[in-house]
Amino acid sequence: MRQGGAAMVYKLADALSLHRLILNYMNPVTNVSFDDTAVAFSSKSDAELYKMYLLFKSMNSNTFVKVGGSLLNLALNLHLPVKFIIKPTIFNHFCGGETIEESERAIQELARYNIGTILDYSVEGEGDEKSFNATRDELLRTVEKAKGNPNIPFSVFKVTGLIDIKLLEKVQARQELTADERAAFERGRERVNAICQRCFQANVRVFVDAEESWIQETIDNLTYEMMELYNREKAIVYNTYQLYRHDRLEVIKRDYEQAVERGYFVGAKLVRGAYMEKERRRAQEDGYQDPINPNKKASDALFDEAVRYCVEHLDRIALCAGTHNENSSYLLMELMEEKGIAPNDERIFFAQLYGMSDNLSYNLAKAGYNVAKYVPYGPVEAVMPYLLRRANENTAIAGQSSREFGLIRKEMERRKKAKR
């Protein structure tokens, strides 16, 4: 029975994808096409576009990224001066700068096209009390920067930047804590509260990022506590739901019911999820049920179901679709249209990462939707793991060039033709 139901959902998702593919050309519903590269790259001069072309061309090579990535890591570990190569190239493309001040250029560039910035302090600290406090203080500075600034509609943080990951895991596993551990957890909780409280006072919405399943329940519980404290009038604190996990739609529904019962609003950032390989490996090694959907199609279907559920329950839910997936983004636009929800309704945001999927961000913003981009920042050495993940994502997939690389080439061709 359940399997039959799932098959129906997939068939429906397939039919809708095909439907959208056709609509993409006629486009009667939303008048937005993510294939419009002229809009997508409107902020880029020919020279900037060519620089992007060279960057994505290098990343498109699997061998280059593999070998280059290892060499860069080695060079950084040996303290060799490679920053001068990284900073003007891959770093500048995917990051705002090394500090909040340096990120101003990216904030202004996005703001000119009505795209908001989410300053993402991407530094993984040493994991001790000193680094947790330093991260809290830096996050508080991002909140100050966002206060009253329409170009920065959200703040964001990861709980592992504020509380020891081993402690989060121990709490989730319901292992007995020592007195020191209990005190450390309480200090971590206070750091989380300090940020959420400041966001509440400054009227800045804040995303709590989702992480690995073995600590996510602890993160969820902290976030529910914050939502109950600060989301009485509207959604200030947003939890993140990873729809590659097969249980998450049920969790969203449960969270909605709880919010109704206790009288607060749910902030829901929907993502597919970033830790799939790690999750599968651990489930297999430790012999428990894999928390991830069996395949991509199932994750896509569940993500879209979650989008539908949130749009149906906007009375209590404010939604942010954190995705680069075009079908899911078209779906959300169509649902808004169907329900007569204005594109700039404060309860709905689209979000992407800086330096990626500008075809979504710029086209959505031009059509009047609320769009924001994560703009990571931090010292070059510290954001290297983030940059290597982006490089890996943009390698050629099964001989096909990455989506971004294809779009850049398409726009270069278009500009060449236009000049003839």
Based on the shown chain and the rule CB under 6 A, indicate whether residue 214 belongs to the binding site for ligand FAD. no
Based on the shown chain and the rule CB under 6 A, indicate whether residue 353 belongs to the binding site for ligand FAD. yes
Tell the smallest beta-carbon distance from residue 325 to ligand FAD (Å): 4
Contacts from 286-290 at CB under 8 Å and sequence distance 24+?
none
Based on the shown chain and the rule CB under 6 A, indicate whether residue 273 belongs to the binding site for ligand FAD. yes
Based on the shown chain and the rule CB under 6 A, indicate whether residue 244 belongs to the binding site for ligand FAD. yes
Quick one: three-class SS letters along the chain? Answer: CHHHHHHHHHHHHHHHHHHHHHHHHHCCCCCCCCCCHHHHCCCCCHHHHHHHHHHHHHHHCHHHHHHHHHHHHHHHHCCCCCHHHHHHHHHHHHCCECCCCCCHHHHHHHHCCCCEEEEEECCCCCCCHHHHHHHHHHHHHHHHHHCCCCCCCEEEECHHHCCCHHHHHHHHCCCCCCHHHHHHHHHHHHHHHHHHHHHHHHCCEEEECCCCHHHHHHHHHHHHHHHHHHCCCCCCEEEEEECCECCHHHHHHHHHHHHHHHCCCEEEEEECCCCHHHHHHHHHHHCCCCCECCCHHHHHHHHHHHHHHHHHCCCCEEEEEECCCHHHHHHHHHHHHHCCCCCCCCCEEEEEECCCCHHHHHHHHHCCCCEEEEEEECCHHHHHHHHHHHHHHCCCECCECCHHHHHHHHHHHHHHHHHC
Based on the shown chain and the rule CB under 6 A, indicate whether residue 299 belongs to the binding site for ligand FAD. yes
Based on the shown chain and the rule CB under 6 A, indicate whether residue 330 belongs to the binding site for ligand FAD. no
Q: Candidates 10-18, 53-61, 175-183, 273-281 — which segment interacts with ligand FAD by CB under 6 A?
A: 273-281
Based on the shown chain and the rule CB under 6 A, indicate whether residue 210 belongs to the binding site for ligand FAD. yes
Q: Candidates 62-70, 83-91, 98-106, 350-358 — which segment interacts with ligand FAD by CB under 6 A?
A: 350-358
Cβ proximity to ligand FAD: between 82 and 362 the closer is 362
Tell the smallest beta-carbon distance from residue 418 to ligand FAD (Å): 30
Based on the shown chain and the rule CB under 6 A, indicate whether residue 310 belongs to the binding site for ligand FAD. no
Tell the smallest beta-carbon distance from residue 210 to ligand FAD (Å): 4
Tell the smallest beta-carbon distance from residue 187 to ligand FAD (Å): 23
Based on the shown chain and the rule CB under 6 A, indicate whether residue 267 belongs to the binding site for ligand FAD. no
- The single residue among 138, 209, 404, 411 that binds ligand FAD, judged by CB under 6 A, is 209
Q: What character string, x for contact with ligand FAD (CB under 6 A) and - otherwise, covers 370-409?
A: ----x-----------------------------------
Tell the smallest beta-carbon distance from residue 182 to ligand FAD (Å): 27
- The single residue among 188, 322, 376, 378 that binds ligand FAD, judged by CB under 6 A, is 322
- The single residue among 103, 323, 363, 394 that binds ligand FAD, judged by CB under 6 A, is 323
- Nearest-angstrom CA–CA distance, 164 and 209: 15
Q: Candidates 15-23, 99-107, 192-200, 294-302 — which segment interacts with ligand FAD by CB under 6 A?
A: 294-302
Tell the smallest beta-carbon distance from residue 397 to ligand FAD (Å): 10
Q: Which residues contribute to the site for ligand FAD (CB under 6 A)?
A: 209-210, 240, 242, 244, 271-276, 292-293, 295-296, 299, 322-325, 351-353, 374
